[in-house]
Amino acid sequence: MTAYLLRRLGTSIIVLIGISIFIFLLLHAIFPSPARVELGLRANQAQVNAWNLQHGFDRPVIEQYLSYINGLLHGNLGYSYADNQTVAALFAERLARSIYLSGISLLFAILIALPLGIFQAVKRNSLGDNVATSAAFILYSMPSFFLGIILIQVFAISFPIFSFEASQSTSIWVVMGDWNAMFLPILTLTLLTVANFSRYMRSSSIDVLAQDYIKVARAKGLPERLVLMRHMVRNASLPMITLIGLFLPALLAGNLIVETLFNYQGLGLLFYNSLSKEDYPVLLAYTLIGAVFVVLGNLVADIALTVADPRIRLA
Amino acid sequence: MAAGQQSSLPPLDVTRAPEGGEVGAVQSGWRLALREFVRNRLAVVGFGILLFFLVFCFLGPLFYHGDVLQVSLINAHDPPGAGHPLGTDENGFDVLGELMKGGQAALEIGFFAAFVAITIGALVGAVAGLAGGIVDTVLMRVVDIFLSVPFLFVVLILAVRYGATVLSLSLVIGGFSWQVPARLVRGEVLTIRERDFVLAARTAGAGRWRLIRRHLLPNSLGVMIVNVTFQVADAILAVAYVGFLGFGLHYPNLDWGDMISDGIGYIEDGYWWLIYPVGVCIVLTVMALNFIGDALRDSLDVRLRRR
């Protein structure tokens, strides 16, 4: 197993290096320098060149890349000229909110999807199963903003129960306590995640139900409830581990669409605002960190699965 | 037995050879797949919906002339009624006409992006699978790198800069969606290249490109077709997201996501016709494609292999 993990780690590092080069080159090609943003559109070429010289944007790309990575490893994510703050500061003030939104939705999604998948497998092809499968199908064919709009229409406008805007408070504790404002964004994310997760839970539960050890457990006289809880849950949740690992990037990169729709001051909304302002340092740091978390998420999912499933370990 | 009753059996004819089993007509794999596909009701429904949208979006404007170009503020925000079956939007444009126009963009981008993705992916996958060794390793690392790119972010960044046309959006979306088909085709090629007919072709002197073009890719078509269908669905969703955030097509073109983002400004005013018809169109189109893809996966992946 150690050999496998070492190989996986090695591959991940290669991919990380490769992806950092790719994204840096891509963004450098699109936005070579923030000089125009800082100096304004009327600045002439000489001023732009001087600014570039002063801030190191006229160096060869390799040099810029290496110094950027060096800064990244020391916690310097760049400087946002449009917002006049370091990128790290911009991220720090929104990180907690994004983690809260994504984390709580993930938690609820797992709590709902796990039993739902098992229920769907046990009562396969019953009315409940078909309703749930159809609902899941519709939900993942739906763009996330449309689900959000429907929920807003039903729960915030037609029947004014909740607020259509997420909490605007800067304190994470107030946000966490403000269920009236946070309910709809959390519900949107949770429903979409459940729709995705329950598909896998359902098919893995169906697979597990067909296994011999379930038959043996039943033949031994174990009550159905214990069969499900002791044998089924553990084995059917294995794909869930992979899914959670794959969900990690969304957790920290912010749920772009939902945050924009509900005006929630998280990392996703920051990305959207930076797009409109063409705030290249923020976009670069954001995309790089997003990519790092995708790689990390895959690695964590692989490792967790190897730890949880001895069959992979011994294979 | 009463006298005169005829025996029901034919007279024993010893000159005819005993019948072996009847050899049934060999059905081509495609025919079998089609039959299996048609038996899946959801797939037929999906196909019907897709066909409806194709006709609606591309042939509709020939029969229904909803104005989407001339601003007419006096007609702005008309509810559905005479002359405007789905009402008008903030510029006085007819919503039904906008649906057709947006649908054209969505379907065009969807299919073209899927085409770009499958072309790049199939080539990369076939070359990687056939060559093996260091080429394969390098190409698969490249696939891993592209897979780790956060899709929506990169697509949005590129769309901000280059996004305002059907062609550029298709290239951007397709350019980051080829990784999965590459992996799938590589897997297929790894299996197919061990087959006897490939060995025979090689012995006859077939070069690498001929092998790919004539033998490997045609036999991977099943996997590719299934994937293309899902690619179209994903591309249409991606266009909706990009349009919703405001980085899609601009006047005089429009797309569905754009329509929704304009519409939600008026959600509190109750102008439902600006939002829900578009949303339902998106959901129906993507659902139809997902139905078709699921059914194709069930019918193609096994049948073609049996051939």
Residues in chain B within 8 Å Cβ distance of A275: 156-157, 160, 245, 247
CA–CA distance, B69 with B253 (Å, rounded to integer): 9
**DSSP-derived pairing of the beta strands A79-80 and A85-86:** antiparallel
Q: What is the pLDDT of residues B4-29, one digit of tens each?
A: 455 566 666 566 555 555 555 556 67
Across the interface, which of A145, A272, A276 has its CB nearest the CB of B260? A145
Q: Which of A141, A147, A153, A274 to mutate to test the interface with B (most CBs of B within 10 A)?
A: A141
Instruction: Tell whether pTM > 0.90.
Output: no
Q: What is the pLDDT of residues A91-120, one digit of tens each?
A: 888 888 888 888 899 999 999 998 888 888
- Check if A289 contacts B (Cβ < 8 Å): no
Residues in chain A within 8 Å Cβ distance of B180: none
CA–CA distance, B151 with B280 (Å, rounded to integer): 25
- Check if B138 contacts A (Cβ < 8 Å): no
Q: How many CA atoms lie within 13 A of B92 on its CB side?
A: 7
How many Å lie between the alpha carbon of A149 and the closest alpha carbon of chain B?
8
Q: How many CA atoms lie within 13 A of A188 on its CB side?
A: 30
> Which structure tokens are listed for A63?
């040099």
CA–CA distance, A301 with A240 (Å, rounded to integer): 9
Nearest in space to A145 (alpha carbons), one of A254, A253, A257: A257
Domain boundaries, chain A: 91-308
User: What is the Cα A58 distance to its own chain's centre?
Assistant: 35
Residues in chain B within 8 Å Cβ distance of A18: 141-142, 144-145
Cβ proximity of B125 and B185 under 8 Å: yes
Write out the H or E segment, with its range, that includes residue B256.
Answer: helix B256-263
Cβ proximity of B152 and A271 under 8 Å: no
Whether the pLDDT of residue B53 is over 60: the answer is yes
Mean pLDDT over A140-167 rounds to 85
Please answer yes or no on whether A294 and B286 come within 8 Å at the CB atom: no
Please answer yes or no on whether B240 and A149 come within 8 Å at the CB atom: no
Q: Which of B153, B259, B290 to mutate to test the interface with A (most CBs of A within 10 A)?
A: B153
Nearest in space to A133 (alpha carbons), one of A149, A113, A147, A155: A113
Please answer yes or no on whether A11 and B158 come within 8 Å at the CB atom: no
Across the interface, which of B141, B157, B264 has its CB nearest the CB of A283? B157
Whether the pLDDT of residue B221 is over 80: the answer is yes
* Position B230 confidence tier, pLDDT thresholds 50, 70, 90: very high
Which of A:10-69 have CB within 8 Å of B? 11, 14-15, 18-19, 22-23, 26-27, 30
Q: What is the ipTM of this complex?
A: 0.86
Alpha helices in A179-237 (DSSP H): 179-209, 212-219, 224-226, 233-236
Q: What is the pLDDT of residues A12-48, one digit of tens each?
A: 898 888 988 998 888 888 887 777 777 777 778 888 8
Mean pLDDT over A53-64 rounds to 80
* CATH code of the region A91-308: 1.10.3720.10
